Chains A and B, each alone.
Chain A
């Protein structure tokens, strides 16, 4: 049963698609015509007239139309089933593909529909024109460009009563310029926090609140800094190497604050060397340096240091003093 069905299917698949019922009928007629012609020739060779021979051949063959119909039925009866099955499956497949295409076309043609399936905040972010760029330039005290400086940017948005904060980083080129493309929306409110850090230059930051539309190019002037060395020691004054130190902020003597957001500051993290020391070049004497420290076995902890005079070293002993935010000054260390 299965073998027969398989053979019939194979024969159906091997049947040329152009082999229509008409073509099959013509082939059967040709075959019968050949037979009657040969029989006529046989009878003619035996002395009959052509007309009589043809009539006798026809008579012997029988009802040509009936026999041709029987041949047709015998040839295609089972194939017809496969043909109808084939047509049916093709129709089902066509409907399925059409439905799929129509559905996907509708989704593509209506991106808002796709967006509406996303979480509200993300949907709003994508829905709005999120093409705002942040550009600017870093200059020294003589208005000369500062190259290879770090620019850390954090963009805050509030789409659909949600809150999103994204961090970006950039380095200045030889002209001291930087640019970060497509970082803030145009059609909704946003806020930008930006920090600029360069070797031997003071850390500066700015905050642009309740901003909308395009942001004008930002220009930072970074005066030279003296910097300072930070010494991190263990309980008995032993150097503590491998401590991660991140400059988190600078408060000028005047009280002006400059912040570095943790999200954007991964590129600024330094490790204390084998002497437990790390150079922090972004500060001036008298500044309060806000630092984040992480010992190899600990978590990030905040510290504030009064930046010592040029050439002096500030010391922190995390294990001795469990209290946080303890100010260490050169006099104390």
Chain B
């Protein structure tokens, strides 16, 4: 899928995707972007300029913690890890997202006469 065809994220879903990406373990920012893009078959485009402010905001809220370490390319990188509060937050975000998706699906499946 070409870059200009990638879907933009709905506002508010970036946090949920970041938290989800950290569920298996610690990642640095670049790895988070690549995981989201690869897992979505390149369907989602992460605005990298939005990623890092989001990471710092979530760290401030206690959902994630960071630690400097060595990357796969043997460079110094900042790794983020999910906290217990972050896991709880992810659960709530997923519940809200699924509720939203079901509601939108119901609307889209509805016949015009039912409206």
Contacts and interface: CB of A to CB of B under 8 A. Distances in A.
A13 to B, nearest CB: 13
Interface stretch (A68-76, A175-183, A236-244): A68-76
A61 B46 CA distance: 10
Contacts of A329: none
Contact of B71 (A34, A62, A74, A75): A34
Residue from B30, B54, B55, B62 having most chain A Cβ neighbours under 10 A: B30
Given A11-B62, A39-B30, A62 B48 contact: yes
A174 interface: no
Contacts of B75: 34, 37-38
Given A31-B29, A34-B28, A62 B60 contact: no
A61 B33 CA distance: 11
Interface in B5-56: 28-30, 47-49, 52-56
Contacts of B49: 61-63, 66-67
B92 interface: no
Contacts of A73: 53
Interface in A26-64: 27-28, 30-32, 34-35, 37-39, 41, 60-63
A78 interface: yes
Given A35-B29, A74-B53, A11 B71 contact: no
A74 B60 contact: yes
A259 interface: no
**Of listed B28, B48, B59, B61, residue having the most chain A CB within 10 A:** B48
Contacts of B54: 74
A8 interface: yes
Contacts, number: 70
B62 A30 contact: no
B78 interface: yes
B73 interface: yes
Nearest to B45: A60
| Interface hub of A31, A72, A73 (most chain B Cβ within 10 A) | A31
A7 interface: yes
Nearest to B31: A38
Contacts of B102: none
B30 A8 contact: no
B59 to A, nearest CB: 7
A230 interface: no
Contacts of B60: 8, 11, 74-79
Contacts of A79: 60
B61 A27 contact: no
B53 A38 contact: no
Contacts of A28: 52, 56
A7 B61 contact: yes
B57 A74 contact: yes
Contact of A35 (B30, B53, B56, B62): B30
A67 B53 contact: yes
Contacts of B57: 74-75
Interface of A: 4, 7-8, 11, 27-28, 30-32, 34-35, 37-39, 41, 60-63, 66-67, 70-79
22 contacts: A7-B61, A7-B85, A11-B62, A28-B52, A28-B56, A30-B78, A34-B71, A37-B75, A41-B73, A61-B49, A62-B48, A70-B52, A70-B53, A71-B52, A71-B53, A71-B55, A71-B56, A74-B57, A75-B57, A76-B60, A77-B60, A79-B60
Given A35-B52, A75-B60, 8 more contacts: A7-B61, A34-B75, A34-B76, A37-B75, A38-B73, A74-B53, A76-B60, A77-B60
Interface of B: 28-30, 47-49, 52-57, 59-62, 71, 73, 75-78, 85
Please give me the 7 A-B residue pairs with the lowest Cβ-Cβ distance, nearest first. Answer: A62-B49, A70-B53, A74-B57, A74-B56, A75-B56, A38-B30, A67-B49
